[in-house]
Amino acid sequence: MEYLDIINELPRGHLRTAQIGMLREKFPDAAIPDDDDVNSGVIRFDLKLPAPSSSSKTREVWLDHAIVQETCPTHAADTRKFFVDKPKFPISSAPAFAKTFGSKRRKYAALIDVVKRLTEERKLKFQPTFMFPIVSSLGYVNDDMNNLLKFMEDCFKLNQSRDRRFDGLLPGVLKGRFKTELKNTLCFALVRGNALAINNQGLHGVTHPC
């Protein structure tokens, strides 16, 4: 943010160069990650999804997802207590969800602030929206996952308009098929990931997931 202040407030010249040089001296040396920790210090997102937009800039969704295991020893007691004490609250506000979502927000907070400022100053050629979709081992999802599904559904509907198809299928039919197939795909991925997690915990009665 200090770098953005310098380039916005000072014109090009020796003064700006000197200020940037002094700021660069404050940066820590880049650490080379060990072989056992290839993601150490790396900021990355799982997916970047572009979408058609009527504006001059391309709208994008940057997402980093997570799968939480409410029944694992780490969250089991808190999850059970949540169901007993707050039966009318959405499961997306349970401790396992809140802890995972908070961790994602803290990890990317600085990057989101910088991107937001650059977007407001019209210095980006895209319009990123950040999402942290979370799916639980019991099949629950948070608000960002619902928003992501809605975003994907809208993109599909826009791209499959009647004017752009030659098979005679109506957009409503395509929308229904897409929703069903997408849900089936997510459910299969959830079951497979949950089976893998349980198998890795060494629990009996679980075979290797296909």
Domain count along the chain: 1
Q: Does residue 26 fall inside a structural domain?
A: no
Contact yes or no for 139/190 (Cβ under 8 A)? yes
Q: Does residue 32 fall inside a structural domain?
A: no
Q: Does residue 126 fall inside a structural domain?
A: yes
Q: What is the pLDDT of residues 139-197, one digit of tens each?
A: 788 888 888 888 887 777 676 665 556 666 776 777 777 777 777 777 777 777 767 76
Q: Does residue 21 fall inside a structural domain?
A: no
Q: Does residue 35 fall inside a structural domain?
A: no
Q: How much of the chain, in percent, has pLDDT values that exceed 90?
A: 0
In the structure encoding, which two tokens stand for residue 207, read together?
Answer: 């075979």
Q: Does residue 163 fall inside a structural domain?
A: yes
Backbone angles phi, psi at 60, to 5 degrees: -130, 155
Q: What is the pLDDT at residue 54?
A: 56
The reported pTM is: 0.59
Q: What is the pLDDT of residues 34-76, one digit of tens each?
A: 544 444 445 577 788 887 655 545 578 888 888 887 777 777 7
In angstroms, rounded to a whole number, what is the distance separating the alpha carbons of residues 118 and 8? Answer: 11
